[in-house]
Amino acid sequence: MSSTDTAELRELAESVFTDAYDRADSRSAGASPGDAVGLDTGLWKTCEQTGLARMTLPEAAGGSEGTLSDAVALLEAAGAHAARVPLAETDLLGGWLAHAAGLRVPDGPLVAVAGDLEVASGGTVSGTLTRVPWGRAVSAVVVLSGSRVVVLAPSALTVQEGSNVAEEPRDTLVASDATPLAVGDAPAGAAGELALRAALGRSLLLAGAARGALARSIGYAGERVQFGRPIAKFQAVQQQLAEAGAEVAAAAAASAAAARTAQDRGFDDDATAFAIAAAKSRCGASATAVARIAHQVHGAIGFTREHDLRLTTTRLWAWRDEDGNDSYWNGLVGTRALDAGPDGLWPLVTGTP
């Protein structure tokens, strides 16, 4: 897509996710924003109808043939509005892995995970997959098991429901002599690419959630009156919001740069691995800072279930530790920096030869 197309996509995504959020916000009827959990089936249907559900997949796989720059616009908007749909899981992970293995990409929401499955002589598989995002809600689970890609229907699995701190499904799926929907050969380097794709998608969602938390904090600071004037007029609050704004900008820049590097160089390039590691680490640090500041600005009301701030801050806390936490990615960044040495550090950081 061209830059104009990407701008239009961003506008469409913001509109779709804002409308979905407004529909879910039923506080006037006495419900809490936190009561809306699980897959938003109406929003998912809209994403499929508008081509947002499979943004970067090729047309042959039912996709919109967008770029990773388009994924930036889409996933940031989804994160900002706490969209309850598995976009990254379907497009960047499940759809990609099935298509890369030469298999038909199943309809509906998808997820891909790495796991060890035992294959019986009759072709059935057994094994346990833990903390599967949206496991209970997807139409198919694409499993990378060694050198094979196995597509399983949830109906063939036993689901033990779980969740993260944001109350998003993180389920344990148990296969016991389950018959796969399809089996294919994994592409070369699939395990490494799957991990990088998951981290990139999570980084983009984190950048969006940070932006959403900041926007809510700015809005609240302008409305909350203390000592005769909005608290946004107080220098201490202004400084906090400015710090949060810097963190949001850093997360957005790092995640977008990682997506651009992956688009230009591919996921098998060392520069892409470094860029994604730096992005996930940077977005995790921003998540901690922005969530802290957002709750400081809101005060006690921000910690209540009835307030919508929790929809973004709990996602910040949950997502920073998923698909590799700060410690894991910081370790990778540090190792790469040490390996580069004094002469190679600047080219490593700037992505130049």
From CA 307, how far away is CA 303, in angstroms rounded?
7
State how far the Cα of 95 lies from the Cα of 93, in Å rounded to an integer. Answer: 6
Does a structural domain hold residue 272?
yes
Query: 96 lies in a domain?
Result: no
Tokens for 45? Answer: 């249907």
Secondary structure of 228-257 as H, E, C letters: CEEHHHCHHHHHHHHHHHHHHHHHHHHHHH
Ranges of residues in the chain whose predicted pLDDT is under 70: 1-4, 24-35
User: Is residue 181 domain-shared with residue 302, that is, in the same domain?
Assistant: no
Separation of alpha carbons 77 and 74, rounded Å: 5
- Which DSSP helix (H) or strand (E) runs through 170? strand 170-178
Residue where one domain finishes, among candidates 133, 154, 187: 187
Are both 175 and 196 inside the same structural domain? no
Give pLDDT tens digits for 142-190: 999 999 999 999 999 999 999 999 999 999 999 999 999 999 999 999 9
Tokens of 351: 């992505």
In this structure, the answer to whether residues 273 and 160 fall within a common structural domain is: no
Together in a domain, 24 and 158? no
* Pick from 142, 138, 178, 136: nearest CA to 161: 136
Q: Nearest to residue 285, comparing CAs of 337, 327, 314, 253?
A: 327
Q: What is the pLDDT of residue 318?
A: 98
Q: What is the pLDDT of residue 275?
A: 97
Q: What is the CATH number of the domain that holds 112?
A: 2.40.110.10
Examine the domain organization and report whether 131 and 271 are in the same domain: no
Burial (CB < 10 A; 0-12, 13-18, 19+), residue 338, is exposed
Q: Do 318 and 269 belong to one domain?
A: yes
Assigned domain for 290 exists = yes
Residues 284 and 142 in one domain: no
Asked which of 159, 187, 215 is the last residue of a domain, the reply is: 187
Does 247 share its domain with 314? yes
Q: Given the DSSP bridges, would you call strands 157-160 and 148-152 parallel, antiparallel or unpaired?
A: unpaired
Give residue 34's domain range.
1-85
pLDDT of residue 28: 38
- Report CA dihedral (108, 34, 322, 202) to the nearest 10 degrees: 60
The Cα 3–Cα 297 span in angstroms is 36
65 exposed, middle or buried (CB, 10 Å; 0-12, 13-18, 19+)? middle
Cα–Cα distance for residue pair 91/181, rounded to 1 Å? 19
- In the chain, where does DSSP find H-type helix? 3-24, 41-50, 68-80, 87-88, 96-100, 190-223, 235-265, 270-298, 309-320, 326-350
- Is the CB of residue 102 less than 8 Å from the CB of residue 185? yes
| Structure confidence at residue 317 (pLDDT) | 98
The count of other CB atoms within 10 Å of the CB of residue 85 is 26
Domain count, the chain: 3
Q: Are residues 246 and 302 in the same domain?
A: yes
User: Is residue 255 included in any domain, yes or no?
Assistant: yes
How far apart, in whole angstroms, are the C-alpha atoms of residue 297 and residue 262?
36
Neighbours of 108 (CB within 10 A): 13
Q: Say what the pTM is.
A: 0.95
pLDDT digits (tens, 9 = 90+) for 191-207: 999 999 999 999 999 99
Whole-angstrom CA distances from 180 to 52, 74, 133, 144 are 27, 31, 19, 13
